[in-house]
Amino acid sequence: MADDLRLTLPRESFAFEGGEAVDRAFVTAFQRDRLHHAWLLCGPQGLGKASFAFRCARFLMGHDRDESYGALGMSPQDADVRLITAQSHPDLLVLEREMGDTKLKKNISVDAVREVGEFFSKAPSRSAFRVCIIDSVDDLNINSANALLKILEEPPHKGIIFLISHSPGKLLATIRSRCRRLNFPPWSDTEVNAFLRQRIELEDEAVDRLVRLSHGAPGRALSLMEEGALEMDSLAGRMLEAAKPARQELMAAAALFKSSSAKNDGARKFATFIMCLCDRLQDRALGAETSQKGQSVAKLWSRLQNVPAEAESVNLDRGDYFWSIYNDLSALS
C-alpha cells in the first residue's frame, strides 16, 4: 500500500530496471581493460544514477556474481557487498551534503573533497579497487570543485570516481573534460506508470499526476509520493477553483511552509507546492478562454518559477508568500 512505501536507498538497491545501456557500457570498459578513472553520471534526479554507482562499486569490489540482477549484478550475501550496504567498506568513500542543525548544508565542503585525495593515496585494503561516489557533484562550491579538479588531473592508481550530476551543464568544463560521461535518459510515461503500479496502490488519477510531475524519472515519482506531493497537488488544484479551500486549511498550509526543522522541512514542502501549482497553471494558461486571461496566468506562472530558490537565498517568510500567492490566484478567478 502507499502508506507502507519506503524508498530504497541507492546502496540497498539491487533491482535492475532501465539500465541496460549504462551497465553494458561499464562492463565493456572493464572487460577491455579500458576502465576510466572518473565517470560522470548525467541526467535528471530520480533516474537511478546513484543506484548505478553503487552497482558499479559492488561489481568492482565484490566477488560473488549474480546476473539475475543484471550485467553488474552481485549477490547481496557477498561479504564485500554486505559491507557496502552497511556503509562499512574501507575501500568505499561516499560524499554527500552533511546535515546541519535543522537541514542539509548547501554545499559539500572543500575539506570533504580533500579527504578524497587522502583516501586515494592509500592502496585498497580488501578489494581490487578503491571507489569514491560524490552525490552530487552539483553540490560543490567553487573551492571544492577546484579541489576535485586537482584529483581528476592525477588519476589515482586502482581508484575509480563516480560523479553524479543532475545539471552537468553547470559544472566546470575542465571537470567534464576529464570524465567519461554516461547519460541517463528519462523514461516514457508508460514505463513510469508501470513502475509505480508495481509498488503502490493508488487511484488512476493519482498515479497519472505522479507520472506527470515526475517528468520521466521513476525515483522522483516515488520521492514525490513519500513527500506528500499528492496532498500539495490537491491543495494547488483547489486553490485554482472558484470555491477555495477552507481558511483553516490555508492557515495550516502557511504554518507548514513557514516551519523549518529536521523533522519537517517547510522549504521542501513549499517547493513541492510551487511545482504542483506551476504545472496546473501551465494547463490553465493553455486552456484559457481568452488570450488576456491566458497571458495573466502565464505571467503568474513565470513569476513563480524561481520563488522557492529566491525564498531560500534571501530568507523570505514562506508563510507570507503563500498568502500572497493565494491573493494572486483569487484575482485570476
We report the CATH number of the domain holding residue 173 as 3.40.50.300
Nearest to 56 by CA among 96, 18, 27: 27
Which of 183, 210, 241 corresponds to the end of one domain? 183
Give the pairing of strands 180-183 and 38-42: parallel
- Note down the domain range covering 137: 2-183
The answer to whether position 190 is within a domain reads no
- CB burial of residue 123 (10 Å; 0-12, 13-18, 19+): exposed
Do residues 282 and 164 both lie within one domain?
Answer: no
Indicate whether 295 pLDDT > 60: yes
Q: In this predicted structure, what is the pLDDT of residue 26?
A: 96
Kindly indicate the confidence band of residue 306, based on its pLDDT and cuts at 50, 70 and 90. Answer: confident
pTM: 0.88
Kindly indicate the confidence band of residue 261, based on its pLDDT and cuts at 50, 70 and 90. Answer: low
Q: In this predicted structure, what is the pLDDT of residue 3?
A: 46
Kindly indicate the confidence band of residue 265, based on its pLDDT and cuts at 50, 70 and 90. Answer: confident
CA distances from 323 to 67, 79, 250, 304, 330 (A): 54, 55, 8, 13, 10
Do residues 178 and 325 both lie within one domain?
Answer: no
Identify which of 3-17, 271-285, 301-315 has the greatest average pLDDT: 271-285
List, for residues 33-90, the tens digit of each pLDDT value.
Answer: 999 999 999 999 999 999 999 999 999 999 999 988 989 999 999 999 999 999 999 9
Least confident stretch, 164-168, 228-232, 250-254, 255-259: 255-259
Do residues 59 and 124 both lie within one domain?
Answer: yes
Least confident stretch, 22-31, 189-198, 292-301: 292-301
Do residues 23 and 111 both lie within one domain?
Answer: yes
If you average pLDDT over residues 287-307, what whole number do you get? 84
Which of 148, 183, 218 corresponds to the end of one domain? 183
Q: Judge contact between 36 and 30, C-beta under 8 A.
A: no
The answer to whether position 211 is within a domain reads no
Query: What are the phi and psi torsion angles at 6 (to 5°)?
Result: -130, 125
Q: In this predicted structure, what is the pLDDT of residue 332?
A: 80
Do residues 38 and 93 both lie within one domain?
Answer: yes
d(CA 294, CA 169) in angstroms, rounded, equals 32
Do residues 128 and 261 both lie within one domain?
Answer: no
The answer to whether position 188 is within a domain reads no
Rg (C-alpha) for the chain, rounded Å, is 22
Do residues 89 and 26 both lie within one domain?
Answer: yes
Do residues 234 and 177 both lie within one domain?
Answer: no
Do residues 116 and 15 both lie within one domain?
Answer: yes
Do residues 146 and 15 both lie within one domain?
Answer: yes
Q: In this predicted structure, what is the pLDDT of residue 227?
A: 87
d(CA 23, CA 41) in angstroms, rounded, equals 12
Which of 128, 151, 183 corresponds to the end of one domain? 183
39-66 exposure pattern, b = at least 16 Cβ within 10 A, e = fewer: bbbbbbbbbbbbbbbbbbbbbbbbeeeb
Per DSSP (E only), the strands in the chain are 38-42, 92-95, 130-135, 159-165, 180-183
Nearest to 120 by CA among 108, 109, 129, 128: 129
Do residues 40 and 136 both lie within one domain?
Answer: yes
Q: Please count the structural domains in the chain.
A: 2
How far is C-alpha 92 from the chain's CA centre? 21
Do residues 161 and 247 both lie within one domain?
Answer: no
Average pLDDT, the chain: 90
